[in-house]
């Protein structure tokens, strides 16, 4: 990440942006507006990624924001633009996503700072090891001079490709729950313990995993994933005494999602009771579905049309920093078509022509915003 920051910081500085790294590890480059007191538009996405990832999820949104500044060729707008390369959006290391964006909305709290990774290193220690001071996190929070946040991102799904549309606009982002379940049984010898005398934590966890899939298949629009399993002690010839699993549940309607989570917790408890195991769960995230800003959606659609393309409105099943930023500033997202709908995978890609369309759309959007009467009013309030 240090290398990544260094590289992008050089690009931003060359365009005339003022670059800093805030105490939550977000890279921030500020391109000033025409006047010193001009309000600012936030743009960006995240710089972290998942294991065995593709090259575009997140970072494309940061690079596109930098490309837009470059395409301005020194032109100053009635507003400043702050590009943010967010840290820790995916939640891979600490199980909790949106660590960087939460710092901007003042939600990187003590509880989150004390969360530990699999090696027992807390968020707080990781920030210190990175060379930053967690005491300064409050200074990463947004001031009240921001009038909007716009994030470019690959769609990560098949919808735009199926509709032959290079660009889409997000009208809402699905809510998501993330939990960690621990089944506890009794470790014992795999050769000497008869089947009926076992308390096998992996077998219980496996039964529950298939129940998760069954439950999700029953409810339209619900997606539920057990993406990670760890067993202890973890040897071929030892019955597992403990199994830890992650659960990720998403739906456009918060009620449907929370009801599904309750059912899955009940199901885990039933399976554990029947097998003589115990089970506990830890809620890592309960993030509500979020609507994007209608004014920005409208302007983005106009900007897409100016590139000669027809926009497509859609709900994002993936989570994004925009859903956290939306708590504090009007937020919107522009999706780029994702070939094959493949993401969180090394085969993830994007077409160069679609990236060119995205830059063109972004420039139209900046020009529209610069002359929008609605925005003048919004900026006066910012």
Residues that bind ligand GLV (CB under 6 A): 90, 318-319
Which one of ligand GLV, Mn ion, none interacts with residue 44, CB within 5 to 8 A by kind? none
Smallest distance, ligand GLV to C-beta of residue 319, A: 4
Residue 63 contacts by C-beta under 8 Å, 6 or more apart in sequence? 8
C-beta of 246 vs 368, nearer to ligand GLV: 246
- 58: contact with Mn ion by CB under 5 A: yes
Classify residue 94 by its DSSP letter. Answer: T
Q: How far apart are CA 275 and CA 305, in angstroms?
A: 59
C-beta of 90 vs 299, nearer to ligand GLV: 90
Burial level of 146, CB count in 10 A (0-12/13-18/19+)? buried
Smallest distance, ligand GLV to C-beta of residue 90, A: 5
Smallest distance, ligand GLV to C-beta of residue 23, A: 23
Which one of Mn ion, ligand GLV, none interacts with residue 22, CB within 5 to 8 A by kind? none
Q: How far apart are CA 320 and CA 316, in angstroms?
A: 9
Smallest distance, Mn ion to C-beta of residue 320, A: 6
C-beta of 90 vs 155, nearer to ligand GLV: 90
Smallest distance, ligand GLV to C-beta of residue 164, A: 25
C-beta of 327 vs 367, nearer to ligand GLV: 327
Which one of Mn ion, ligand GLV, none interacts with residue 61, CB within 5 to 8 A by kind? none
Q: Give the number of other CB atoms < 10 A from CB of residue 342.
A: 16
Structure-block tokens of residue 73? 């060729």
Q: Give the number of other CB atoms < 10 A from CB of residue 83.
A: 28
Stretch that binds Mn ion, among 55-63, 142-150, 184-192, 224-232 (CB under 5 A): 55-63
Smallest distance, ligand GLV to C-beta of residue 277, A: 29
Which one of Mn ion, ligand GLV, none interacts with residue 39, CB within 5 to 8 A by kind? none
Beta-bridge partners for 178: 248, 285
Which residue do the tokens 């003589």 mark?
276
C-beta of 95 vs 319, nearer to ligand GLV: 319
- 155: contact with Mn ion by CB under 5 A: no
- 57: contact with Mn ion by CB under 5 A: yes
Instruction: Give 382's Cβ-side CA count (13 Å radius).
Output: 24
DSSP state letters, 175-225: EEEEEEEEEE-B-EETTTS-GGG-B-HHHHHHHHHHHHHHHHHHSTT-EEE
Smallest distance, ligand GLV to C-beta of residue 87, A: 14
Smallest distance, ligand GLV to C-beta of residue 318, A: 4
**Dihedral (C-alpha) 233, 234, 235, 236: value to the nearest 10 degrees?**
130
C-beta of 58 vs 157, nearer to Mn ion: 58
Smallest distance, Mn ion to C-beta of residue 59, A: 9
Which one of ligand GLV, Mn ion, none interacts with residue 319, CB within 5 to 8 A by kind? ligand GLV
- 48: contact with Mn ion by CB under 5 A: no
C-beta of 98 vs 183, nearer to Mn ion: 98
Residue 62 contacts by C-beta under 8 Å, 6 or more apart in sequence? 8, 27, 44, 45, 46, 47, 83, 84, 85
DSSP state letters, 291-340: EPPHHHHHHHHHHHHHTT---EEEEESS--HHHHHTTTS-EEEEEE--GG
Distance of CA 177 to the CA centre of its chain: 13
C-beta of 49 vs 146, nearer to Mn ion: 49
Which one of Mn ion, ligand GLV, none interacts with residue 48, CB within 5 to 8 A by kind? none
C-beta of 80 vs 319, nearer to ligand GLV: 319
Contacts with Mn ion by CB under 5 A lie at 57-58
């Amino acid at each position: 990440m240090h290398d990544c920051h260094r590289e992008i910081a050089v690009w931003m500085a060359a365009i005339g942006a003022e670059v800093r790294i805030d105490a939550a590890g977000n890279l921030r480059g500020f391109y000033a507006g025409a006047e010193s007191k001009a309000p600012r538009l936030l743009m960006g996405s995240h710089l972290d990624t998942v294991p065995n990832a593709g090259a575009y999820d997140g970072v494309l949104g940061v690079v596109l924001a930098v490309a837009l500044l470059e395409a301005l060729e020194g032109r100053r707008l009635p507003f400043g633009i702050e590009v943010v390369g967010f840290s820790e959006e995916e939640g891979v290391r600490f199980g909790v996503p949106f660590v960087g964006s939460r710092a901007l909305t003042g939600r990187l709290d003590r509880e989150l700072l004390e969360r530990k990774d699999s090696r027992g290193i807390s968020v707080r220690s990781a920030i210190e090891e990175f060379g930053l001071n967690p005491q300064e996190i409050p200074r990463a929070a947004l001031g009240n001079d921001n009038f909007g946040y716009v994030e470019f991102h690959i769609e990560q799904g098949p919808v735009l490709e199926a509709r032959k549309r290079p660009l889409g606009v997000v009208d809402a982002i699905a809510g998501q729950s993330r939990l960690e379940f621990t089944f506890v049984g009794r470790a014992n010898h795999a050769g000497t313990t008869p089947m009926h005398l076992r308390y096998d934590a992996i077998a219980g966890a496996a039964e529950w995993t298939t129940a998760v899939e069954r439950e999700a298949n029953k409810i339209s629009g619900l997606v539920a994933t057990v993406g990670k399993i760890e067993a202890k002690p973890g040897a071929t010839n030892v019955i597992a005494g403990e199994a830890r699993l992650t659960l990720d549940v998403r739906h456009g309607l918060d009620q449907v999602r929370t009801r599904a989570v309750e059912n899955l917790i009940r199901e885990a408890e039933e399976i554990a009771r029947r097998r003589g195991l115990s089970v506990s769960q830890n809620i890592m995230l309960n993030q509500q579905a979020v609507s994007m800003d209608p004014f920005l959606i409208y302007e983005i659609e106009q900007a897409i049309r100016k590139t000669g393309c027809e926009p497509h409105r859609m709900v994002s099943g993936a989570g994004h920093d925009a859903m956290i930023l939306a708590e504090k500033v009007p937020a919107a997202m522009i999706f780029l078509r994702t070939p094959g709908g493949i993401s969180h995978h090394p085969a993830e890609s994007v077409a160069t022509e679609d990236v060119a369309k995205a830059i063109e759309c972004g420039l139209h959007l900046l020009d529209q915003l610069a002359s929008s009467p609605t925005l003048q009013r919004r900026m006066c309030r910012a």
